[in-house]
Protein backbone atom coordinates (compact mmCIF):
# COMPACT_ATOMS: atom_id res chain seq x y z
CA UNK A 1 0.00 0.00 0.00
CA UNK A 2 1.46 3.35 -0.98
CA UNK A 3 0.81 6.65 0.69
CA UNK A 4 1.53 9.97 -0.97
CA UNK A 5 1.80 13.26 0.83
CA UNK A 6 1.04 16.23 -1.40
CA UNK A 7 3.88 18.68 -0.99
CA UNK A 8 1.87 21.47 -2.59
CA UNK A 9 -1.76 21.91 -1.72
CA UNK A 10 -3.91 22.60 -4.77
CA UNK A 11 -6.62 25.24 -4.67
CA UNK A 12 -9.29 22.54 -4.86
CA UNK A 13 -7.88 20.68 -1.85
CA UNK A 14 -7.29 23.92 0.05
CA UNK A 15 -10.97 24.81 -0.38
CA UNK A 16 -12.04 21.40 0.94
CA UNK A 17 -9.67 21.72 3.90
CA UNK A 18 -10.86 25.24 4.66
CA UNK A 19 -14.55 24.28 4.45
CA UNK A 20 -13.97 21.25 6.66
CA UNK A 21 -12.09 23.35 9.21
CA UNK A 22 -14.83 25.98 9.25
CA UNK A 23 -17.52 23.33 9.77
CA UNK A 24 -15.61 21.77 12.68
CA UNK A 25 -14.91 25.20 14.15
CA UNK A 26 -18.58 26.09 13.87
CA UNK A 27 -19.59 22.84 15.54
CA UNK A 28 -17.19 23.46 18.42
CA UNK A 29 -18.30 27.06 18.86
CA UNK A 30 -21.96 25.99 18.76
CA UNK A 31 -21.44 23.32 21.42
CA UNK A 32 -19.16 25.24 23.78
CA UNK A 33 -19.99 28.93 23.33
CA UNK A 34 -23.34 29.73 21.78
CA UNK A 35 -25.99 27.99 19.73
CA UNK A 36 -25.97 31.03 17.43
CA UNK A 37 -22.73 29.79 15.86
CA UNK A 38 -24.84 27.23 13.99
CA UNK A 39 -25.39 30.03 11.49
CA UNK A 40 -21.72 29.78 10.54
CA UNK A 41 -22.37 26.16 9.55
CA UNK A 42 -25.41 27.25 7.57
CA UNK A 43 -23.36 29.90 5.76
CA UNK A 44 -20.51 27.50 4.93
CA UNK A 45 -22.91 24.77 3.77
CA UNK A 46 -24.96 27.18 1.65
CA UNK A 47 -21.81 28.58 0.08
CA UNK A 48 -20.54 25.08 -0.77
CA UNK A 49 -23.92 24.22 -2.28
CA UNK A 50 -24.16 27.34 -4.44
CA UNK A 51 -20.55 27.08 -5.59
CA UNK A 52 -21.18 23.55 -6.86
CA UNK A 53 -23.68 25.00 -9.33
CA UNK A 54 -22.30 28.47 -10.05
CA UNK A 55 -18.56 27.92 -9.74
CA UNK A 56 -18.35 31.09 -7.65
CA UNK A 57 -16.38 30.70 -4.43
CA UNK A 58 -15.17 33.77 -2.54
CA UNK A 59 -12.60 31.71 -0.60
CA UNK A 60 -11.15 30.37 -3.87
CA UNK A 61 -10.74 33.90 -5.20
CA UNK A 62 -8.89 34.95 -2.05
CA UNK A 63 -6.70 31.85 -2.03
CA UNK A 64 -5.80 32.24 -5.70
CA UNK A 65 -4.84 35.87 -5.04
CA UNK A 66 -2.59 34.54 -2.27
CA UNK A 67 -0.83 32.36 -4.84
CA UNK A 68 -2.40 28.94 -4.30
CA UNK A 69 -2.47 27.18 -7.67
CA UNK A 70 -5.12 24.87 -9.09
CA UNK A 71 -4.35 21.20 -9.62
CA UNK A 72 -4.11 21.86 -13.36
CA UNK A 73 -1.52 24.59 -12.78
CA UNK A 74 0.50 22.38 -10.43
CA UNK A 75 0.45 19.56 -12.99
CA UNK A 76 1.54 21.94 -15.75
CA UNK A 77 4.37 23.21 -13.55
CA UNK A 78 5.46 19.65 -12.87
CA UNK A 79 5.39 18.67 -16.56
CA UNK A 80 7.00 21.90 -17.79
CA UNK A 81 9.23 23.16 -14.96
CA UNK A 82 10.89 25.82 -17.17
CA UNK A 83 7.70 27.38 -18.51
CA UNK A 84 6.29 30.41 -16.77
CA UNK A 85 2.56 30.81 -17.10
CA UNK A 86 0.16 33.33 -15.65
CA UNK A 87 -1.76 32.24 -12.56
CA UNK A 88 -4.71 34.52 -13.35
What average pLDDT score do residues 7-22 get?
92
Distance CA 85, CA 88 (A): 9
Domain that holds residue 28: 11-79
Does residue 80 surpass a pLDDT of 60? yes
- Asked if the structure places residue 57 within a domain, the reply is yes
Does residue 87 surpass a pLDDT of 60? no
Residue bearing the bigger pLDDT, 42 or 78: 42
Distance CA 59, CA 72 (A): 18
Q: Which residue, among 17, 16, 11, 14, has the nearest Cα to 75 in the 3D structure? A: 11
User: Around 13, how many Cα atoms within 13 Å sit in the side-chain half-sphere?
Assistant: 11
Digit-coded pLDDT (tens) for 22-47: 999 999 999 999 999 999 999 999 99
Distance CA 33, CA 62 (A): 28
Q: What is the pLDDT of residue 29?
A: 97
Distance CA 14, CA 67 (A): 12
- Split into its structural domains, the chain has a count of 1
7 confidence band (pLDDT: 50, 70, 90): low
- Asked if the structure places residue 4 within a domain, the reply is no
pTM of the model: 0.78
Amino acid sequence: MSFTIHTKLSLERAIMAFAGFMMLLSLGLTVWLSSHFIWLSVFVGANLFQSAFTGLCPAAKVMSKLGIKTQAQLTQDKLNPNSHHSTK
